[in-house]
Amino acid sequence: MNFFIETIGCQMNVNDSDKISDYLVNHGCLKTTDMAKADLVILNTCSVRFSAEHKAYSLLGRIKEHKDVNPNLIVGVVGCMAQHAYKEIKRRCKFVDFVLGAKNIDNFSQIIGKYVPFEYSFKKQTSENVFRYVTIMRGCSNFCSYCIVPFVRGPEISINCGEICDSVKQAVDSGVKEIILLGQNVNSYNDNGINFTKLLRQVSKIDNLKRIRFMTNHPKDFSEELIDEIAGNDKICRHIHLPMQSGSDNILKAMNRKYTYGQYKSLFERIKTKIPEINITSDVIIGFPGETERDFSDTFKASQDLKFGGLFIFKYSPRPNTSAYKLKDDVTLNVKKQRHTLLLEDSNEISKALNGRYIGKTVDVLVEKYENKVCEGRNSQNLKIFFDSDKNYTGEIVRVSVTRALANSLSGKMIL
């Protein structure tokens, strides 16, 4: 049986899709990148923003065309949108065979077994990936006023430290070089007294693991102990994604973020002081209900003052069940677009200037991909780096002299 899987959304969804793919492959199925050749199609959905749901329904329209041609095609919808819009999906898309929400993703084997009566034929898998996502916790209990995650993934639950280390070891044994630990708020991880810092220490002891990354962080829970661990642990990459969301205290309070901009700035500066080579990236939401020109100005100034290595900017989108959904979405779409453009252009200039500091320097690059005689990888700071090569160095850490810098990437020459 051939299966096709399409993933919309965050790294958590990518990780869930990887688990689904592993399960199917271990049961004798073959993964295809051509939907027309599939016997089973799975759409893993996101509901963080309205645009993600719109994309899902658009893809379901394409899937229906294949189902019309092949009535025996099995179609499943999983993920966050499947959690909160279960009835709507079943109503609008009657060709869908099963819908499985994010809270119940671990029950996939039971659900798919009703449609695919295959026999178990486990084979040790050699990873096609240089890196692998490993979930360390599910759900979220922060209830930021704009966020639907607590409603579609449930309350925060930390996964057993031993299970996590076993997953990492299995991945490394299959050829993975880098692990990315995932959680909605990894800083609040706690398994019977084992906090996130202690988990990092345990994972870093695993032989042949070259790099550790993690996401996402919450400023209110980012401890001094964690900063010190990153500074002193060579396996932990020099990149932290630290969502700010706004530079306005009024908006941060309305978002229920539980910190002020002053507290965020203080944390940012402490990290930079102890780990000078760190690259800090961030998220910002533009056009939250009640955001004035002054509020936006505070966010714009914060971006200029802190100089993030990369800034991901999102236009506010009302989501059902969230407390902000009750607020009037009073910032017009045109204003949101204008503010988004202004901040994006300025942040890109900042990123390009920061990246320009790498020109003439030599960096270690873990190569992730090789195509058309070009190697693509990342340095410890999570910057994408390209270099020409007649040889495929995928999975290897090589030295690259940087010759060019853009806002989102670097390029250079490999040092033999």
Longest dimension (CA), the chain: 62
Tokens 């990236």 correspond to 281
Question: Domain check: are 133 and 96 in the same one?
Answer: no
Tokens standing for 113? 């077994």
**Residue 104 and residue 134 in one domain:** no
- When pLDDT is cut at 50, 70 and 90, the band that residue 120 belongs to is very low
User: CATH no. for residue 8?
Assistant: 3.40.50.12160
Q: Are residues 98 and 6 in the same domain?
A: yes
Verify that 8 and 100 share a domain, yes or no. Answer: yes
Considering 112, 139, 172, which residue would you say is the last residue of a domain? 112
Are 181 and 103 in the same domain? no
Is residue 104 located within the same domain as residue 39?
yes
DSSP symbols for 70-109 = -TT-EEEEEEHHHHHSHHHHHHH-TT--EEEEGGGGGGHH
| Integer angstrom CA distances of residue 260 from 145, 146, 148, 243, 378 | 15, 17, 22, 13, 33
In a domain, 88, yes or no: yes
Do 184 and 105 share a structural domain?
A: no
Domain boundary among 237, 268, 285: 237
Quote the pTM value: 0.86
Residue 294 lies in a domain: no
pLDDT at 126 exceeding the cut of 60: no
- Predicted confidence band of residue 279 (pLDDT cuts 50, 70, 90): very high
Q: What is the CATH number of the domain that holds 152?
A: 3.30.750.210
- Of the candidates 237, 260, 290, which is a domain's last residue? 237
pLDDT given for residue 118 in this prediction: 57
Indicate whether 103 and 23 sit together in one domain: yes
Which token pair is 88? 């709507």
CATH number of residue 374's parent domain:
2.40.50.140
Question: Is residue 259 assigned to a domain?
Answer: no
What average pLDDT does this structure show over 314-330? 95
- Quote the CA–CA distance of 69 and 121 in Å, as a whole number: 30
Phi, psi of 121 (to 5 degrees): -145, 65
The per-residue pLDDT for 117 is 65
> 151 and 102 in one domain?
no
Cis peptide before 197 (omega within 30 of 0): no
Number of structural domains the chain divides into: 3
In a domain, 272, yes or no: no
Same domain? 38 vs 82:
yes
The two three-digit tokens of residue 1, written as one number: 């049986």
**Are 102 and 146 in the same domain?**
no
- Residue 122 has what pLDDT? 41
Domain extent at residue 78: 2-112
Residues 184, 108 share a domain:
no
- Percent pLDDT > 70 in the chain is 97
Is residue 223 scored above 90 in pLDDT? yes
